[in-house]
Structures are given as C-alpha cells and as structure tokens.
Amino acid sequence: MGTVGWMAPVLIGLVWIAMAGSIAAAEDAQILRYKVRPGAQIDLGWTGISHAQPWPAEQILAFGLTCPDTGGRCTVGGGAAGDAFGAPIPLSSGGTAACVVNRLRDAVDGTIRRQDGCAAITLRLSSRVFVAQSIAHPCPICVDDPTANDTRREGRCSSGARAGKPCDAHAASARFGATSNDCLPHGEGAGDLALDLALRTGNVTLESGPPCLNVRVGGTCLCDGQTQKNGCRNGTCAGNDRCDGGPFDGTCEGHPYRPCKLGSGSKECEAQFPGAGTCQFDARSCFGAPLAAKGTCDPKTPTFVATFCAPATRAAALNATAGLPGPARLTLPLELLE
C-alpha cells in the first residue's frame, strides 16, 4: 500500500458479529446476515501513515429485520449494550501494532430497502485498544479451525488471555491470521473509545470546520483537537489523495507493516524476515477537504461507507503515528448470506 505507521486503534473494530441472541424477536421479524468481503479497508488519522489499512474479511454481520406487509423500507435493529460486535481487529504498520476489541454501547438501528439494498445503519461502539507487542501478530489468533463462524470450537488460541483454549474463528486476515472472540488479548488496554458510525450505501462527506491546533501551520481541520490538516511536506493534498511533494515512505512490499529505508533493497526486509520482499517507496497518503466516501446500493453485494472523527487513545505513540484525534474513512463491502 505504500503507507507506514500504525493503523490506529480507534479504528474500530467495525468488523462484526451482532449476536443473534440479542436480536429482538417479533412475529414479523427476520434475520438479515452479511459477510464482510475482501477489499474492506480503513483510512485513519490526519498524518496519512495509517491509511489504506486492510480490514479483516469473513466476519458475519447479523441484524434483526422488520418489514411492512407492503414491502419497501424495512427497519434494522438488534444487539444491546455490552454485546460483542465483531472479532478482535489486528492493526499493524510502521513498526507499531494494536488489537481492537469492540462492543456495542447501545442497540443497532437503521433502515434498508430490500429491493435495491440501499441502507443507513447507525452503530454506537466502545472500542478497547490493546497495544500489541508483536507487529507481525497484533492479536491472538485462532489456529487450525477448519470452518469459521460455524459455532464449533475446533481451533485453539495461539496466545492471550485464553492461550491454548478452544476457539471458533470469526474473521480472516491474509496478513495476520484468523481472530476470534474466544481469543482475547491480555491486560486492560489503552482506553475505551466511543465511536458513533453512520454507515451508508450512498455518498457521505466530512466537512472542515474547527481551526487546526498547530497555529504555525494554520488553517481549518476536519475534527476537533486535530493538530494539522495533513502530513504533506508542503501542506497540500493532491487530487489523487497523495502528498505529491512528499514525504515518501518506505515499507517492505511483502510485510507493509515493516518500515524500511531508501536504498536498503532487501536488507531490512527479505534478508531479516522471509516473505518481506524488497523495500518500496510511495508518496504519503492524505485527506482532502471535504473528506468524501462513496458507497454502493446492491441487494446482494452492497458497499457501506462512513466518515467520522476518531478520538485519541491513552497511548501517545499510537496517537502521534496515526494522527489522533483525526478523521477516518471506512469502506466496507458486504455479501448477503441467504
């Protein structure tokens, strides 16, 4: 991806499973189930270091669905405060890593049109951020579980609070392995972050407003408490969402979470970490203003998007790397499960 840095914790574990047992029952209620498709990603923070971070696939998103007899717009709901919402999210880049565990602060609500898949869903999350010790393994993984999300605990937790215990895999990451709600990290974490996400299948924007805190750079920012607009050397984010004037960041092509130096070739990558390849460089990512995202309505394969302001954690290094508090953009392609 050509980006460096930590995929900020706040990133929210928007990868989810709304527990079916928490969905309110009604005579006319149904269950609407989606699976997260490959290609989901999060762009987090103002520095651009933690943009274009992959979001784990295969997670199941289940909602209660109530539709009028005449069809048309249906009501989406389900879940309750404290329910787990998604498997732990592994985030790693630029030599820093975190694992995020998400729970609902309140029930899910929203609407959807079944005929075209256009939807608006509101999530109120509490995201607990754990600073990881290993950049290659940010979260404990569920090892050797043959089938994810089948409720059968046929794998085992690699580490964490339930190391060696049985698990069912709930998410798949080509980079970091399968995570599970059965395999949680150790410790208390670096903060519980309140996130309100308005997921849409249409176009969304986040407008500039508050002044940036860095008075030397000046200008207006997208979020309250944001230090500056972007990490671009000349302060200008080009139309391709890149800092064309630099800086240019180096990452190992096979392990994008590992930073490397210009001219190092494979010395800091493949020579030390098999599979890491060679060092590649790319212009830093950035956000323009307003920050925009485009979703897609589809009854079978919708794409949900959200733009929002992510708060700071209690881990100063993570905040500095990603640029928190700061703006974020989530792109979430889904597949309807019959």
Q: Where are the domains of the chain?
A: 9-45+54-206+292-318+327-337
Q: Which secondary-structure segment (H or E) carries 245?
A: none
pLDDT tens digits in sequence order for the chain, 338 residues long: 333 333 333 333 333 444 333 333 444 568 899 999 999 999 989 999 989 888 899 999 888 999 876 657 899 999 899 998 888 989 887 788 889 998 999 999 999 998 899 999 999 999 999 998 889 999 999 999 999 999 999 999 999 999 999 999 999 988 999 999 999 998 888 888 899 999 999 999 999 889 999 988 888 999 999 999 999 999 999 988 999 999 999 999 999 999 999 889 999 999 999 999 999 999 999 999 999 999 999 999 999 999 999 999 888 888 888 999 999 999 999 999 97
The DSSP H or E segment spanning 30 is: strand 29-36
pTM of the model: 0.87
**Residue 330 tokens, joined:** 């989530």
Angle CA 299–86–4, to nearest 5: 95
HEC-encoded secondary structure of 82-105? CCEECCCEEEEECCEEEEEEEEEC
With CA atoms as reference, report the closest residue to 227 among 240, 218, 235, 236: 218
Exposure on the CB side of residue 298, measured as CA atoms within 13 A: 13
CA dihedral 313, 315, 318, 322 (to 10 degrees): 30
Cα 247 vs. chain centroid, distance in angstroms? 24
Pairing of strands 108-113, 96-104: unpaired
Chain centroid, CA 128 distance in Å: 13
Burial label for 175, CB within 10 Å (0-12, 13-18, 19+), is: middle
Cα dihedral sign for 33, 35, 36, 37?
Answer: negative
- Cβ–Cβ under 8 Å, residues 67 and 21: no
Helix, strand, coil percentages for the chain (3-state, nearest 5): 5, 40, 55
Which residues are paired to 30 by β-bridges?
65
Residues 54, 11: contact at Cβ < 8 Å? no
Distance CA 273, CA 46 (A): 30
| Strands 73-78 and 60-66, bridge-based pairing | antiparallel
Cα 255 to its chain centre, rounded Å, is 18
What are the two backbone dihedrals, phi and then psi, of residue 288, each rounded to the nearest 5 degrees? -85, 180
**Phi, psi (rounded to 5 degrees) for 133:** -85, -25
